[in-house]
Amino acid sequence: MAGVIFEPGLRPIYASTMLSLLTRTKSFRDPWVGHPALNRRFQLHRRRVELAETLCTWRRWLKPGRCADLERDGFVVIQNFLPPSQFAALRDEVESRVSDVALQHPMPVNNRVGFQPKQPFTGGFDRFDGGTLNRFLHVDPLVLPQAAAVCLDPRLSSCSRQVIGLPMDHHKVDVYLTVHGEESETPDLQKDLHRDTFFRALKFWLFLRPVERDDGPFEYVPGSHRLDPVRLRWEQSTADAALLHRRQPNVSGSFRIGDEALASLGLPKPVAVTCPANTLVLADVFGFHRRGAAVPGRQRLALYGWNRPYPFLPITW
């Protein structure tokens, strides 16, 4: 049985839970990650951020990627990512799959606020962010061979190494249909500027349909992926505020920031990425980003991938 630590000024904590400090855990509901006294006394959050960044820098140095835009801006937009014939085959395959699943599983609606749990079905799942429906379909090579082939594109691994110092995991790719809802009573928290976690992580979207302004395009604050002294102070002060329940809602450690606060960090306004079909958008989601405002009912369809590594890994492969 784990022992209990009793330190003056600290609430009792089971010793076994201390290992959460060396994991991906970001939620301040965790008794160690979210311990107010430890954060006040030792700036615990800041130290985790700095350690994760140091090890990521080391991994990137060992096996660097090759994407100058990612290094400079934190995101990259590559139009005409696939040859026209390959893209057409991919699009037709995915559109057919999306239509088939819609017949078997009509799109649900949600009237509850906040992030909702997954609603699994054969071959995928639905999840709501407020009024926005996120439908994910797994990339089974037997069902979606064109999509499975794109998952192995070496450019994805090169970009992944640029961000996190590790190759892309082709298992972490899905077909992703976004359906925007009416948000007056069920707002989508993903439409607030935020960073996903306390360490560098990767997301990409290969859009299979054009993305216009009304479709809720991906938005990113250029340069917000850089960890400088100003950003470090913001990280710790935001953690302090979250622990005291003053400014930040508990969104599992994904810190939010208002547009008006960007200038104080020396950052520009977010850029909305509207684009034609066959465009790859890839981003370091330690930088501030959001899903743009949209007309209810509008959709986005993409091949979507993510790579959120173990942050304290000192080696690469």
308 residue type, one letter? R
Domain ranges of the chain: 43-307
Q: What are phi and psi of 300, to 5 degrees?
A: -125, 140
Half-sphere exposure of residue 143: CA atoms within 13 angstroms, side-chain side:
16
206 neighbors 302 (Cβ within 8 angstroms): yes
Q: How far apart are CA 47 and CA 25, in angstroms?
A: 14
Q: Which two tokens stand for residue 285?
A: 């989601």
127 neighbors 280 (Cβ within 8 angstroms): no
- Per-residue pLDDT in tens (0 to 9) along the chain, 317 residues: 333 343 444 444 444 467 888 899 888 888 888 878 888 888 999 999 999 999 999 999 998 888 888 999 999 999 999 999 999 999 999 999 999 999 999 999 888 888 899 999 999 999 999 999 999 999 999 999 999 999 999 999 999 999 999 999 999 999 999 999 988 889 999 999 999 999 999 999 999 999 999 999 999 999 999 999 999 999 998 888 887 764 445 467 899 999 999 999 999 999 999 999 999 999 999 999 999 999 999 999 999 999 999 999 998 77
Q: For residue 11, which of 37, 30, 44 has the smallest C-alpha distance?
A: 37
Q: How far apart are CA 270 and CA 160, in angstroms?
A: 22
Q: How far apart are CA 38 and CA 42, in angstroms?
A: 6
Q: For residue 184, which of 299, 296, 297 has the smallest C-alpha distance?
A: 296
What does pTM read for this prediction? 0.91
Q: Which of the four CATH numbers 3.40.50.10320, 3.40.50.300, 3.40.1440.60, 2.60.120.620 does domain 43-307 have?
A: 2.60.120.620
249 in helix, strand or coil?
A: coil
